[in-house]
Structure 1
Amino acid sequence: MLFKVENCFPDQYENDVDKQLALDHLLLSSGRRKNIVIIEKNAIEKLLHSKLYRAPAKTFASDIEKNRREYGVIAKQLAVYCVVDFDSRQVSCTFQNNQWVIRVGYDYFIDPENSGLIGLITEGELDFNFYSVIATYYSKYISPLKLDVSFKFHHGAGSQSKPSFDRLTNEGKIILCLVDNDKSHPKKGEGSTSKVFTHYDRNYNNKSLVNVINVREIETLLPLNIIEKILVEQKNLKILTL
């Protein structure tokens, strides 16, 4: 996810530990390449000259400044990105300039877990690995942006996909859920796993989204043995490059 920080004044947070923590966690997220973080130039300069922040945070801030112009171009080409407002605790999602913009307050990042990888709910680990392979391939060989793509796995386990989605949504997490439609025939109704997701679930509602794949099973697109072969080959490639 790309996080664009606004209304941030790092040198004014001496008595605001929450804002210090939120900013520190965002910088760490960028430095560890969990997410892309954009911070205004003036804010970075204030941070670098402030005694409130540790050396690692300043190093990550300098890295953001070096790539700020490139990141700004990337933001304009994404289907969705997130604005982090340090002057607000409100959450909203709007469609503007052909992009979905999720807006959250700085308080979302007080919890360090929220600065990690974006969560992805799938019906099983095999589905998760398959989607990860597809995302990586698209990013590296089709998309002009050439971004690294990674997700945090959340187990849907079929009928538990909806409860997991609701729980994480209620916790305020940024979450994507992918499920098969389980239709026995294209003209038939959806199966029990996907039909419980509402119209509201299937549109950006603040920080979460469900996408019901327009096939009965993901294996309908590619045979299971081909998926497994791809995953095994990718695993072996990772081992060889370590």
Structure 2
Amino acid sequence: MVIQLSRELIESINNNHPNQDEIDALEYIALCRKEGSQVITGNRQVIKHIISTSGLTNRAKSIYKRIYEDVTKNRHINKYVSHVINVIRPYGESEKRRGETTYIDVPLNRFRNPSLIQNTVLLVENVDDAKVYNKIAKYYAYSENVSTNIEYSVIQGGGGNIHDQLEQFQRRNDRIVMCLVDSDKKHPSDELGQTAQNALSTYDEECSLCHLVILKEHELENLIPVYFLRRSTNSNTQERSAVENIDSLSKVEDLSKIRKFIDIKNGTKLGEIVDGFRDVDNVELRYLSQAFSSIHYDCVHPPNCQSPEQCRCTINHPVGANNTANAIQSVSQSPLGHIDEHINQSLSIAWKSLGRTIYSWLCSSMPVRS
């Protein structure tokens, strides 16, 4: 994450004679940059003032000289991130100032805690999910031609207790944490699934160091390009047929919204999503009967599914948990250029939007080698 040393530190560090709390905090920030766990930057005048501060070790001063040298390189990084930690005067008030970029004011004295300068915690439902989120963040950085250095410590919360782990991190408020969960929504206006509801009810937006992201899509699998799903299924199987149906949804603009909410692993019936698309003027459902012979014309002109629980109109058969897991693994191992060749425009937009946020919380620096 970008940690920015604010101008007000010049006046607040007691005329080059800071107290021990401030010295310890500045030492830990230097250590953070040395290890490369976060991106440390700031105004040149601020950094020069810190370098001249008495009480700092020579090792720390040499690291701040490196930060000073990197100011030009990092000068524009704030425009590529959604969140920045802004280090303010000691014992000031923590605050989030929201805008196109959200600045999170954190008092200098908070950095006396060595936990705060470790890699960002990536709290996810499944460890394998983290590999794809990492790739999505790097894809965003790749597309913007900025550094793709990313470091994090992954913690698997599991669907049942991820909100408990989030609550513990918020209570301690001593680690930088990003939590990502599936929405499990079946259509745009659907309620969040239980895991997302629990996480949202636990999340404290004013907690300065934690951030929750609920996917706009049904789940992570909806962000996997068709190319990788196809590679993970055998030809002439029902699973491959399901992938081709998903491909049809991806290619038709009027059906792309539905593609975001189908259950790729377990399959989707029309009756499961119809409540979200009952408007007679909604073209998504009307196009479905043209795209798939399994969708009955009378069910969607206008949408009048009478018994969703007994629906036999199949949008997509299950691709299967093993096949989707293999697709996720394939994505995580693929070069960014290869992904860029095989991702369609709508998914590319979704990856870049989500990637900007993930990148903001996970971006890091190359370690300083002494």
Shorter-chain-normalised TM-score: which range? 0.7 to 0.9
Q: Deviations over 1:168-225 (max 9, x none)?
A: 1111143221100123555543221111233783856533221111233212332321
Tell me the distance in 2 between the aligned counterparts of 1:209 and 1:42.
Answer: 31
Identical columns (%):
19
Cα displacement (A) at 1:63: 0.7
Alignment of structure 1 residues 91-240 onto 2, 5 Å = 91-96=94-99, 98-139=100-141, 141-172=142-173, 173-184=175-186, 188-198=190-200, 201=203, 205-222=207-224, 223-232=324-333
Gap regions ≥5 residues in structure 1: 235-242
Equivalences, count = 230
Could you say which structure has the larger radius of gyration?
A: 2
Cα displacement (A) at 1:143: 1.8
State the one-letter code of the partner of 2:36: R
Tell me the distance in 2 between the aligned counterparts of 1:39 and 1:226.
Answer: 41
SS of residue paired to 2:48:
helix
State the one-letter code of the partner of 1:151: Y
Tell me the distance in 1 between the aligned counterparts of 2:92 and 2:163.
Answer: 27
SS of residue paired to 1:120:
strand
State the one-letter code of the partner of 2:329: E
Alignment of structure 1 residues 9-88 onto 2, 5 Å = 9=13, 11-13=16-18, 16-88=19-91
SS of residue paired to 2:70:
helix
Tell me the distance in 1 between the aligned counterparts of 2:97 and 2:46.
Answer: 25
Tell me the distance in 1 between the aligned counterparts of 2:67 and 2:185.
Answer: 46
Cα distance 1:103–1:50, how it changes in 2: closer, same or farther (>3 A)? closer
Cα distance 1:69–1:200, how it changes in 2: closer, same or farther (>3 A)? farther
Tell me the distance in 2 between the aligned counterparts of 1:20 and 1:133.
Answer: 37
Q: Deviations over 1:38-76 (max 9, x none)?
A: 244344334434552222211211111112233232224
SS of residue paired to 1:146:
coil
TM-score normalised by structure 1 residue count = 0.83
Q: Is the 8 A contact 1:181 1:212 kept in 2?
A: yes
Q: Is the 8 A contact 2:159 2:195 kept in 1?
A: yes
Q: Is the 8 A contact 1:5 1:38 kept in 2?
A: yes
TM-score normalised by structure 2 residue count = 0.56
Q: Is the 8 A contact 2:180 2:213 kept in 1?
A: yes
Gap regions ≥5 residues in structure 2: 225-323, 336-370
Cα displacement (A) at 1:102: 0.5
Tell me the distance in 1 between the aligned counterparts of 2:31 and 2:60.
Answer: 7
State the one-letter code of the partner of 1:31: K
Tell me the distance in 1 between the aligned counterparts of 2:27 and 2:48.
Answer: 15
Cα distance 1:43–1:226, how it changes in 2: closer, same or farther (>3 A)? same
SS of residue paired to 1:197:
helix
State the one-letter code of the partner of 1:93: K
Cα displacement (A) at 1:155: 2.0
Tell me the distance in 2 between the aligned counterparts of 1:188 and 1:50.
Answer: 56
Tell me the distance in 1 between the aligned counterparts of 2:189 and 2:25.
Answer: 48
Deviates more, 1:224-233 or 1:170-179: 224-233
Tell me the distance in 2 between the aligned counterparts of 1:126 and 1:43.
Answer: 41
Cα displacement (A) at 1:88: 3.0
Tell me the distance in 1 between the aligned counterparts of 2:158 and 2:201.
Answer: 21
Cα distance 1:37–1:197, how it changes in 2: closer, same or farther (>3 A)? same
